[in-house]
Chains A and B, each alone.
Chain A
């Protein structure tokens, strides 16, 4: 619609390398006046890195970003802001202990325009002398949005602005976002919800493996094209992983773990599923769809706000992770640094759960402990050449320690949250057969992964979570990645009953 105008924002050949990982490689993005562009990409495609570079939080290794033709210096978020790029992040940027008015003063935002947009968003009756710490999350997001628009942005960056908003507010927000087109403002719109993208966006820019793989006009039916673009050549990586043998036609065992209508606030809504004996049940979800809450509830870290958990048919209530471990549920979190003692040895890290109970606080039975630890090290092929502190080990070996801890403790159910995130391909190839081996011995595994190609390699069945609900349960043999990706984006909610 506005082809003739020069782009408001133009990012070209942006490259960013973290260690061995090329997070961005020649990524580009263009936003014209009055245009709303959806920025899309699967987990790990480089979306958040690009956002950080655009907003001045990270410096690119190569490439440049121009706003209205003048180059952005990437000095700091403040400079990016001054040049007219105003972001609204998923986390509220309001300082909690200040009032709304004080927060406005911090960014030099005019009260009049702020009031105006607050009215448009249906929150005209909010008192500006209210402390922001007392306000609900949805209100904070609206405040962030109103403030960003009131700051008269050249380019507005909206990162999951509709997440955590009730439906009526989502409609208001989308209306206001659309209305910005008339002010000739450019908008970068990041969302997992295709319905919203279809409703407001003109164009979609797709990232895959750090590259911009395409830019499409948004029209009905564009979702399929986008999904294909996001997946692209990822078939290669599946081939690289090799066939580690999906479970054949094993008879499904009796249920080991059952979630009945499990809820956690608004993030996880009435989730029901069964994990059977000797089964690896995959969990597929885009970031922040409630999978974190699901694992935290099942591991006893958080209490559910509704629903029940049954282990081997008996209802259980967890007050503490120790209660979950007591019935054999062991949790390996996504961030391994939170689970490990980096200054202690591999041995001590694996043996930590042995000493957990007060009855095991006495003298350590050295020989028996050494045997159990050696067995786990052997089984997981942990490279212990780097003696001493765990922080000297590679990420892959550290990850194996977090799993080995629980095979040594004979946990009957493993709750693994993205166990292969950020580890090398060799370790991944060791972990897949291990999962199958554990399952063959009767261990049940709940396996969340952000890498879809792992699902057919590791899992027997897979549940797909979108917006806190299970939208699909599929036999892992029948899946392909585009099917999973579509389900993860909530594009095929009808087949949930069929499974």
Chain B
């Protein structure tokens, strides 16, 4: 026994360090990717590139927060792509109809509503989150198409402040950090220092134990999915400012990358494990990876193939590294 400890001393200590601070290997991976990118295309890593990477990673990290929060309880939220698209589309059309200030609450209302429906389905009716959120996502997009027909004549407009927030930058710092930094601090604080955050972990690890402790699970689910919907709605507004062209498929393609970011960031889809800081790094890794595959001028099919393989490999290695016992 002592021999084994002596043999694997460094290995064991390293593993323990990794399992205590799971963000470390992720940061190492991110650094390695950036170095590799600089080698493939020298000079690409400059101020503009950094600002751009952060700019695109931010809304992805926000969308991924919905996945991290729901995955902690053993759930998932596949409706966030639709919800974000709805908020963005409603925002762009309502600016001309109701004015740019009133448009925000109007745009976020359907986001919260869909979130509440998700929470009701998951928490009260005990529908599996995967099915529930897939269903509300489809319903949402259907409603959006109906809405589109009503406002087809109004045209759309992206308010200046959203464009400023979405695309502006100060040196390597995109303006969207003004939204994201407080948001990220809020989410991390919620997970670590509030009763609600504690319940998310507890619910995902052992629902029966929470029931025994007097937790009414449906209340947590209702609040959780409503919050997830709200975050998705806000992210939609940010995407609107970033891409400036509202369409029915504005955010939908970002849904699965958001799930991937959460998983790469160490959130367990089985619940009970994960941190938001990991998810943020996960979003950065995915963004850098996308640029890398674009820069290498690989054909689209191969690029997707590689993207999938890399996500699987990273997740598998990461789990091996951080899983103890």
| Chain A interfacial positions (CB closer than 8 Å to B) | 299, 301, 320-322, 325-326, 331, 333, 338-344, 348, 351-358, 360-364, 366, 405
Contact = CB atoms under 8 A, between A and B. Distances in A.
A363 B194 CA distance: 4
A358 B205 CA distance: 19
B193 to A, nearest CB: 6
Contacts of B223: 358, 361
B213 interface: yes
B69 to A, nearest CB: 14
Interface in B171-227: 189, 193-196, 198-199, 201-202, 205-206, 208-216, 219, 223
A366 B210 CA distance: 20
A341 B209 contact: yes
Contacts of A341: 201-202, 205-206, 209, 272
Interface string B262-273: 000000000011
Contact of A321 (B198, B201, B214, B272): B214
A353 B209 contact: no
Given A321-B211, A322-B214, A338-B212, A361 B202 contact: no
Contacts of A405: 213
Contacts of B201: 341, 344
Nearest to B272: A343
Given A360-B195, A366-B193, 13 more contacts: A301-B211, A320-B216, A322-B214, A325-B213, A333-B212, A340-B206, A341-B206, A341-B272, A348-B202, A353-B214, A356-B210, A361-B195, A363-B189
A357 B205 contact: no
A367 to B, nearest CB: 13
B212 A361 contact: no
B202 A352 contact: yes
A419 to B, nearest CB: 14
Contacts, number: 83
B193 A363 contact: yes
B206 A331 contact: no
A353 B195 contact: no
B216 A352 contact: no
Given A338-B208, A339-B208, A340-B206, A356 B198 contact: no
Nearest to B201: A344
Nearest to A320: B216
Contacts of A353: 213-214
A339 B206 CA distance: 8
Given A344-B202, A344-B205, A339 B195 contact: no
A342 B211 CA distance: 16
Given A361-B199, A362-B194, A364-B194, A356 B205 contact: no
29 contacts: A301-B211, A320-B211, A320-B216, A321-B211, A325-B214, A338-B206, A338-B208, A339-B212, A340-B206, A343-B272, A343-B273, A344-B201, A348-B198, A351-B198, A352-B198, A352-B209, A352-B210, A352-B213, A355-B195, A356-B199, A357-B214, A358-B216, A358-B219, A360-B195, A361-B194, A361-B199, A363-B193, A366-B193, A405-B213
Contacts of A348: 198, 202
A362 B186 CA distance: 12
Interface residues of B, number: 24
A364 B195 contact: yes
B283 to A, nearest CB: 25
Interface string B305-317: 0000000000000
A192 B209 CA distance: 32
Contacts of B214: 321-322, 325-326, 353, 356-357
Q: Which 3 A-B pairs have the closest CB atoms?
A: A355-B195, A361-B196, A325-B214
Contact of A339 (B193, B199, B209, B272): B209
Contacts of B208: 338-339
B57 to A, nearest CB: 28
A354 B209 contact: no
Nearest to B205: A341
Nearest to A351: B198
Contacts of A354: 195
Residue of B189, B202, B205, B209 with most chain A CB atoms under a 10 A cut-off: B209
A364 B198 CA distance: 9
Contacts of B206: 338, 340-342
A403 B208 CA distance: 16
A353 B206 CA distance: 14
Nearest to B215: A356
A166 B35 CA distance: 76
B241 to A, nearest CB: 31
Interface in B85-106: none
A339 B207 CA distance: 9
A96 B208 CA distance: 26
A303 to B, nearest CB: 15
B273 to A, nearest CB: 7
Contacts of A342: 205-206
A362 B189 CA distance: 10
Contacts of B211: 301, 320-321
A151 to B, nearest CB: 38
Interface in B236-270: none
Contact of A343 (B189, B193, B205, B213): B205
Interface in B261-312: 272-273
Nearest to A360: B195
A359 to B, nearest CB: 9
A447 to B, nearest CB: 18
Contacts of B196: 355, 361-362
A331 B198 CA distance: 21
A333 B212 CA distance: 9
A366 B194 CA distance: 10
Nearest to A322: B214
Contacts of A366: 193
A353 B211 CA distance: 9
Contacts of B198: 348, 351-352, 355, 364
B193 A364 contact: yes
Contacts of B210: 352, 356
B216 A362 contact: no
Contacts of A333: 212
Nearest to B20: A388
A187 to B, nearest CB: 39
Given A340-B206, A344-B205, A322 B195 contact: no
Given A321-B214, A343-B272, A352-B202, A362 B195 contact: yes
B194 A356 contact: no
Contacts of B272: 341, 343
Given A362-B195, A364-B193, A364-B194, A322 B216 contact: yes
Residue of B189, B208, B212, B219 with most chain A CB atoms under a 10 A cut-off: B212
Contacts of B273: 343
